[in-house]
Amino acid sequence: MGLQLYDYVLSGSAYKARLFMALLGLDYQSVSIDFHPGGEHKKSDFLQINPAGTLPVLVDGDLTLCDTQAILAYLAHKFDTTNQWYPTNDPVATGRILQWLAFAGRLTDTAGAARLHDMLGRSLDIDAARKGAHKALRELEAHLTEQGFRGHAFLIGSKPTIADIACFPYTALAPDGGIEHDDYPAIRKWLIAIRRLPGFIEMPGIHRLHDMRDEDGG
């Protein structure tokens, strides 16, 4: 049996797994979970699979992974023959990647939370969520600015890694939660660099670069 992804189309976290599998050229079976309005991820059938009640979940044979960043690391280890996306033979790169994977959790908890509030009416402290998101985006902007001086387009170096995939969706989707990209020119350039990657796929709210489409293709 191949890869199975418990998925929800509007989930930025599930999109990390979908995007990475697309970039790696992997086939998988998608199992759609009615996150909203059904709340299927909090019901007993799904809790048997993931007691935490979160999406996405990746199943590969006997293995079930319920953490998005762990899914990215596993997929890179198992399927990336180039060793580009998670170069574990390089301790410095590994340490840096793990740091940005943890940072991606902060983006989910702030920018992602603000988006849930604005889009799906989730009850939470929206001011705190937006403030936390801007604080995180300032850190990301400062780092990407320095990377630019080093001639590096991505978080770790000149090539994208799973750190970029982990941080991309909730940064790109931040305006859905009232967090604009206006203040962050280095982030805007990085978002375009990721959207330019061969094999890039869209999700609602994150579209392909229009200048890479045909004039009438829409």
Partner 1 sequence: MNADHSEFVEGPDGWIPVALSVDLPEAGVMRAVIAGAQPLDLVVWRSRSGQVSAFDNRCPHRGMRLSFGFVRGERLSCIYHGWQYGEDGGCRHIPAHPDMTPPTSICANTYACQDHDGVVWVSKGADNSDDLPNFGGQGLRSLSVERGETVLRKLLAETHLPVSLTSDMQMAEAAIATQTRTSLVLEARSDAKNLRLMVHFQKITPDRTMLHVQTSPELPAELRISLSRWAERFRWSAENLGTMINSWDATSQETHP
Residues forming contacts to partner 1 in the complex (CB under 8 A) are 141-142, 145-146, 149-151, 180, 182-183, 185-186, 188-189, 209-211, 215
CB 153 to partner 1: min, Å: 12
| Closer residue to partner 1 (CB): 34 or 146 | 146
d(CA 82, CA 139): 29
CB 142 to partner 1: min, Å: 6
CB 124 to partner 1: min, Å: 23
| Cα angle value 85/41/25 (rounded, 5°) | 25
Distances (CA, A) of 133 to 26, 97, 103: 32, 20, 11
CB 33 to partner 1: min, Å: 29
| Closer residue to partner 1 (CB): 34 or 183 | 183
- Residue holding tokens 């780092």? 143
| Closer residue to partner 1 (CB): 43 or 138 | 138
Q: Which residues pair with 3 in a beta bridge?
A: 60
| Closer residue to partner 1 (CB): 65 or 137 | 137
| Closer residue to partner 1 (CB): 59 or 173 | 173
CB 209 to partner 1: min, Å: 8
d(CA 68, CA 54): 9
| Closer residue to partner 1 (CB): 42 or 189 | 189
User: Residue 21 carries which side chain, given as an amino acid letter?
Assistant: M
CB 149 to partner 1: min, Å: 4
